[in-house]
Structure 1
Amino acid sequence: MEVKTGLILGYNGVHPFSKVNITDRASVQELLRTLLDPLEPFFSPLKARVKCPGATAVRFDQTASEVEGICRPLWGLACLLAGGGDYNGTEWWIQGIKAGTDPESPEYWGYPRDNDQRMVEMCPLGYALAVAPVIWQSLNEKERGNVENWLGNSINEKNMPNTNWLWFRVFANLGLKKQGGKFSQERLDRDIEHLNTFYRGDGWSNDGPEGIHQMDYYSSSFAIQFLQLLYAKLAGEDEPERAAEFKKRAQVVALDLIHYYDNEGRSIPFGRSVGYRFAMVSFWGAMAYAGVELPEPLTWGMVKGVVLRHLRWWQTQPDIWSPSGTLTIGYTFPNMYLAENYNSPGSPYWACLAFICLAVPADHPFWTSEEQPLGDALPKIKELKQPGHIMSYLGGHCMLLSSGQACSYPMKGTHAKYGSFAYSSAYGYSVPPGLFTLEQYALASQLGLSDDGGEFWKARRVSEYAGLEHRPHDDDPNGKGKGKSTTPVLVSVWKPFPDVTVRTTLVPPAEETPNWHLRAHRIDAAGRAVMTADGAFAISNERRADGRYLDAWDATKCEGTSPRIIGNYDLATPEGWAGGRQGAFAVSKGAVGIRALEDIEGKKKVGRSAMLVNADPNSNIVESRTLIPTLQHTVGKGEVVWYVSAIYAKPSGEGVAPESYLDGWEKVPEIPAWLRAEMEE
């Protein structure tokens, strides 16, 4: 095999990643090689560092950033070698490990301090040592001592964040243990015992101790569940009880996690670090790797389908690459507004976790089964108690409603990554590229409140109360009927200002109106007047024919907006506004919209108005130019107001005719009887 170097993606260039016909194990091996090959020109002279294109700074030093560049791709390379695959560039990493751990080398990685980023990169190195013996066997006695000192002794002496990071020290020690190197069993055991205190039940672990509610992909594919399964595989013979517990947790949580993926191959973007892209499916390969028996109704054909369809979907995203063929910071395109302060140019290669499936033997049913769709075996609506989510497969996309999660430390766009009301596999969330007016706040699936006339906005971040509750169906008002007699709802209470309280209730779609979900807000503006803006999903603001901004709705083209796109505060142009009940929608890649339902006949009219927010470019993580159908209103000081918003979504997709995008728009759901009763109280 010839290693291809010097890749340059010019105008209309196609990355080799997108050319692989993904059908079997060998094709996924080739897919990984297309990720590793473009890194070759960016290795340092002694191969200890990889400086990926991009001069962006992060919260840690440049050397640590370049250590990320060499260590994160090790996830893929180690899995390839563990499964019997080969790569001609393997020697680059072996030489780099030798130089990087040698204190006398000019490319020494440096002794880690407390809470040092280097500790994260010790995890893939520890795993690689454990499963790819060629690395350890290529080291002489002095070089092995260097690795022991850097990988084991240094991390065992230092403080670490009280999060999933503790798993990284476990794997540093485990990698040395598997090769007979010096390690600390006492530290390893203490870390796992402490990590077990993060366990909350139903298979879910929190990313931190009591008092933190953060259950995103770190709780599954990026770290905790993933590393529990790898540990069960590698240490299971010596620690059968611990391995059995980790496998049991995976079996239970699998029936929840399956709801984050759709049949188009997409995952629901939720939480931080979504720039790790295809690592979102690594949990499923780890299940196979650890020899876990799937719980019914899951099959290996379904699991294989989730993983391979996901990789194929990323093949259709040509803008994830730099011109030199390396992964960029972003989601479907380069996007620094999305980035966390720890996302260096080498950071996206945590995506290589997805290739754990290559360490799975060729005769495992993961590889021998025929791919299967998720099918009708899964419930269309499912409540997930631990993360505080209600999942839905109705309406042509995979969607979750969320309440109660919040990042435990200041993070860019944290209110969008955790505090939005709804997240969709078809319509990604939006982050603010600036902090001035609605265009920059880009409040997709969020309620914003402003006390200064619309310049600065506050959205839900931390909830004083968040709970998964149940309400009776309208045909069973007492909730005492047989079968499915109640509807799950998410209730949260939050304060955008100290003297303004919002109580939000999220209601999932119903089979009769599958493209709609409801959100009800009770706003008590006790201390000040506030403007409000309630946003639907963000959708592409590009015409199919030429990529220009959308025009007014044209039924003959099945494209456009209603009302017209005018401006967020242009009240002098009536055609840019509509009544709240009439609502606003936009049609491009499917359709999204929002209507106000609270103006019930015989009641005092609230009088919200509908319009389109022309969000600043690059605010959304999936589409670079977007519109957000939005309802606006002002609540006077001392007023208590109820809003009931109906949010419409029907994504484009295979077999979905553009003529059908608005089929459900006129079939608006009714306010449930229980909600009317709550409003009247």
Structure 2
Amino acid sequence: MTYDPASANPLAGNPLETREDMGRALLDLFDPLLPYFSKGNARVRLDGAGAHFDRAAADLEGFARPLWGLAPLGAGNGRFEHWKRFAEGLANGADPQHPEYWGTVNGRDQRMVELAALGFALALVPEKIWEPLDGHARNNVIAYLKHARQFDYADNNWKFFRIFVDIALDRLGADFDRSLTRQYLEELEGFYIGDGWYRDGNVRRIDHYIPFAMHFYGLIYSKLVDDDYAKRYRERAVLFAKDFKNWFASDGATIPFGRSLTYRFACAGFWSALAFADLEALPWGEVKHLCLQHLRWWRDKPMTNRDGILSIGFGYPNLLMSESYNSAGSPYWAFKAFLPLAIPADHPFWTSKETAPEAVAVSPQRHPGMVMIRAGGDVVALSSGQENLQMRFGTEKYAKFAYSARYGFSVEADERNFAGGAFDSALAFSDDGLHYRVRETNAEAKIAGDVLYSKWSPFKDVSVETWLVPAAPWHIRVHRINTPRALQTSEGGFAIAKRDFDLDTLSVEAGAAHVIGESDFSGIADLGSTVTRTGLAQKALPNTNLIVAKTLVPQLRGEIPAGETVLITAVLAINDPQAVSGAWMKRPVVPDIGALEQQVREYGVTVSAIVAPGQMP
């Protein structure tokens, strides 16, 4: 038989419209894990690839992460036949004398992350995994949790992990130092920016960790604990929902941006957490639609291995885009999307008719430094540029000019291959024709209405000012470059799917390039730069794009001289192959740089994402 990757997806064929559909989806995703449970059920090992932490912690990850979905299923009286596995695994994993002991926490440790899922499950369904334990096993579990919480957790969303352990300890009647709980709740307050937005630590980035971590944990907390922090979390979630809904396209896709995208439909976790917390931040029909439509988007993606195990990757198995902390069990944070299984069938989340939120054509968002624009069925985030210099491909994940729900983004496979770079939504410079530099961080980043401005340097002696302007379905980029020496440049549009047998249309000319695939058009055009650039239809290296494995990227390439150069670029990508005779022929109006400068000067405010504490501009 010919292997069909999409048919191996456990969500294939599921309408994902009802509570029953969601419950079936969870079990269909969980069942492929069963053969990989260890004899004592404390570990789940899925493959031989490694993460930066030890194998025991990775095995715990495989055991614990499914509980983000299974615990709500149990709390909602859903059918699940394997609770005994989890009770036994909990007892054995916390027992220092058992061969499957998870290992002792010493300092900041991946185990701290996974204990949050255990704490959540112990608080939500103690009758499933706690009450079956004998006194000796219970003492081991309490001792394990109490030992872990004495260490310092990372200064970001990790602080919620100890809080979840503490909620469990409180529910189980354990004696522990509650002042530590209060300390972390207060320290988390330091990450709040305003208007519902957080920063995930002392960093210059705001990504999906805000909805599927900071808000997700805060909303669960607000359901399990009644205090002033719970009230704040609920108020902030209402504010955040108004912005975050604009990150989702009509087909349910969300804008892939930042790290940890292998968690996939955890991106729906915010909407799921609103349901769990009984918080109608938007009309229930809209919350339900945003949650279920996102899950439905994943139904035809080849996101699993042959046996139905969620792979590391995004739209398909792809280790290239992964983080060093991604083990084979990491993708099961996706189960955060299943929180609504905890609420009863007569809850308005389930009884309301799905309603798509009103489509907002342009949505400026100061805190992440983005301007969301809708075109066709896509949502594009123009981005002022954020910063992640610590993680692999942090530049591609945070500092491109645009990110698309339909076309995702690409990571580069070889920093010594200027000729073969994808450079989608990026401007690359090379001084030797081999190596290259792109935007990695900003000296300045401002938003002025719907215009974004940034100042950055690809080399120490080269400065670039960039303005990004929406002109739906196009967007415009203006770059003013000052360099003491000649440089080669390459600027890319959006990457679209490439077909086999060279069935696609590739067109290049002076000052423009476009590519036409089976369903999509992507083009880039020079609008009047001070130098001449030539079009190129780049066949990107495979497995570089997050959503599809093979892509085409239209580019403009050319050399700039020493001194000042202005590049003005228009970019269009749309799911309509006929756009070549439509929108492609209607180039946007060339903006006036002086007017852009004045707009930023008069109305520009600094983007919150780059104003980390201690890094005020």
The CA RMSD measured in Å over matched residues stands at 1.9
Instruction: State the partner residue of 1:330.
Output: 313
SS in 1 for 2:573: strand
Q: Which of 641, 650, 653 is equivalent to 2:565? A: 641
User: How do residues 283-432 of structure 1 correspond to structure 2 at under 5 angstroms?
Assistant: 283-294=270-281, 298-317=282-301, 319-374=302-357, 377-407=358-388, 409-432=389-412
SS, match of residue 229 in structure 2:
helix
Q: Deviations over 1:620-678 (max 9, x none)?
A: 011111111111111223x10001110001125xxxxx435652000000112455775
Look up the match of 1:451: 431
Report the counterpart of residue 101 of structure 1 in structure 2.
94
Question: How far did residue 10 of structure 1 move?
Answer: 4.9
The aligned counterpart of 1:229 is 219
Cα deviation, 1:435-472, whole Å, max 9, x if unaligned, reads 2224654211011111112x1111111101111124xx
Partner of 2:91: helix, strand, or coil?
Answer: helix
User: Does residue 143 of structure 1 match 2:100?
Assistant: no
User: Which residue identity lines up with residue 510 of structure 2 in the other structure?
Assistant: G
In structure 2, how many angstroms separate the alpha carbons of the residues matched to 1:181 and 1:378?
49
Q: Give the alignment partner of residue 520 of structure 1, picking from 442, 466, 478.
A: 478
Report the TM-score, using the length of structure 1 for normalisation: 0.85
Alignment partner of 1:60 is 2:60:
no
Q: Is the 8 A contact 1:438 1:613 kept in 2?
A: no
Alignment partner, residue 612 of structure 1: 537
- Is the 1:65–1:346 contact (alpha carbons within 8 Å) kept by the matching residues of 2? yes
* Matching residue of 1:621: 546
**2:210 pairs with one of 208, 219, 226:** 219
- Which residue in 1 is equivalent to 2:258? 271
Alpha-carbon contact 1:266-1:426 (below 8 Å) kept:
yes
- Residue matched to 1:561: 506
Three-state SS of the structure 2 residue aligned to 1:243 is helix
CA distances 1:565-595 after superposition (whole Å, capped 9, x unpaired): xxxxxxxxxxxxx111x44343433111100
| Residue type of the alignment partner of 2:393 | G
Alignment gaps of 5+ in structure 1: 1-7, 471-487, 552-559, 564-577, 600-604, 653-657
1:281-302, CA deviations, whole angstroms, 9 ceiling, x for partnerless residues?
11011112112232xxx32111
Q: Distance in 2 between matches of 1:442 and 1:24?
A: 41
Amino acid at match of 2:572: Y
Q: Distance in 1 between matches of 2:79 and 2:216?
A: 24
Give the whole-Å Cα distance in 2 for the aligned partners of 1:612 and 1:227: 44
- Matching of residue 38 in structure 1 with residue 32 in structure 2: yes
Is residue 439–residue 613 contact of structure 1 (8 Å, CA) maintained in 2?
Answer: no
Within 2, Cα distance between the matches of 1:388 and 1:163? Answer: 20
Matching residue of 1:260: 247
Measured in 2, the distance between the counterparts of 1:74 and 1:272 equals: 22
**Partners of 2:44 and 2:125 in 1: how far apart?**
21
Q: Residue 190 of structure 2 aligns to a residue in which SS? A: helix
Higher relative contact order (CA 8 A, sep 6+): 2
1:247 aligns with 2:237: no
Cα displacement (A) at 1:360: 2.2
Deviations 1:95-114 (A, max 9, x none): 11110001111100011121
Contact 1:583 1:596 in 2 (8 A): no
Partner of 2:519: 589
**1:588 counterpart SS class:** coil
- Shift in Å at residue 305 of structure 1? 1.0
Taking a change above 3 Å as real, the CA distance of residues 184 and 493 of structure 1, as seen in their structure-2 partners, is: same
State the SS of the aligned residue for 1:207. Answer: coil
Structure 1 counterpart of 2:601: none
Aligned to 2:502: 549
Name the SS of the counterpart of 2:112 in structure 1: helix
Cα contact 1:68–1:347 (8 A) shared by 2: yes
Assess if the C-alpha contact under 8 Å between 1:329 and 1:335 holds in 2.
yes
Residue number in structure 2 paired with 1:468: 447
SS at match of 1:628: strand
SS at match of 2:491: strand
**Cα displacement (A) at 1:141:** 1.7
Q: TM (normalized to structure 2)?
A: 0.93
| Contact residue 9 and residue 303 of structure 2 kept, 8 A | no
How far apart in 1 are the matches of 2:32 and 2:517?
38
Q: Is residue 381–residue 390 contact of structure 1 (8 Å, CA) maintained in 2?
A: yes
> Residues 9 and 324 of structure 1 are in contact (CA less than 8 Å); yes or no, is this contact kept in structure 2?
no
Aligned length: 597
Q: Deviations over 1:395-414 (max 9, x none)?
A: 4311111124112x511111
**1:648-667 correspondence runs (5 A):** 648-652=572-576, 658-660=577-579, 662-667=581-586
- Rounded to whole Å, the distance in 2 between the matches of 1:228 and 1:591 is 41
1:86 CA drift (Å): 2.0
Distance 2:229 2:107 in 1: 28
Q: Are 1:490 and 2:452 an aligned pair?
A: yes
CA separation of 1:525/1:550 partners in 2, compared to 1, >3 Å: closer, same or farther?
farther
- Secondary structure of the 2:476 match is strand
- 1:678–1:388 Cα change, 3 Å: closer
User: 2:513, 2:537 within 8 Å by CA — same for their partners in 1?
Assistant: no
Paired residue type of 1:534: E
Q: Supply the AA of the counterpart residue of 1:644.
A: I
Quote the Cα distance in structure 1 between the aligned partners of 2:317 and 2:176: 40
Q: CA deviation at 1:260?
A: 0.9
Shift of 1:149: 1.3
Describe the superposition over 1:536-593 as per-residue Cα deviations: whole angstroms up to 9, x where unpaired.
Answer: 0111111xxxx32345xxxxxxxx1212xxxxxxxxxxxxxx111x443434331111
Residues 449, 530 of structure 1: 8 Å contact kept: yes
Q: Is the CA contact 1:285–1:360 (under 8 Å) kept in the aligned structure 2? A: no
Contact 1:449–1:459 (8 Å) recurs in 2: yes
3-state SS of paired residue (1:665): helix
Q: Give the aligned partner of residue 79 of structure 1.
A: 72
| Structure 2 residue 508 is the aligned partner of structure 1 residue 534 | no
Cα 1:172–1:661 change in 2 (3 A) is farther
Distance in 2 between the 1:417 and 1:15 partners? Answer: 26
C-alpha distance in 2, partners of 1:309/1:529? 49
Letter in structure 2 aligned against 1:459: V
Asked if 1 retains the 8 angstrom alpha-carbon contact of 2:159 and 2:188, the reply is: yes
Deviation string, structure 1 residues 179-223 (Cα, Å, up to 9, x no partner): 2223331111101100110001111110103xx2221110112x1
Change (3 A) 1:627 1:390: same
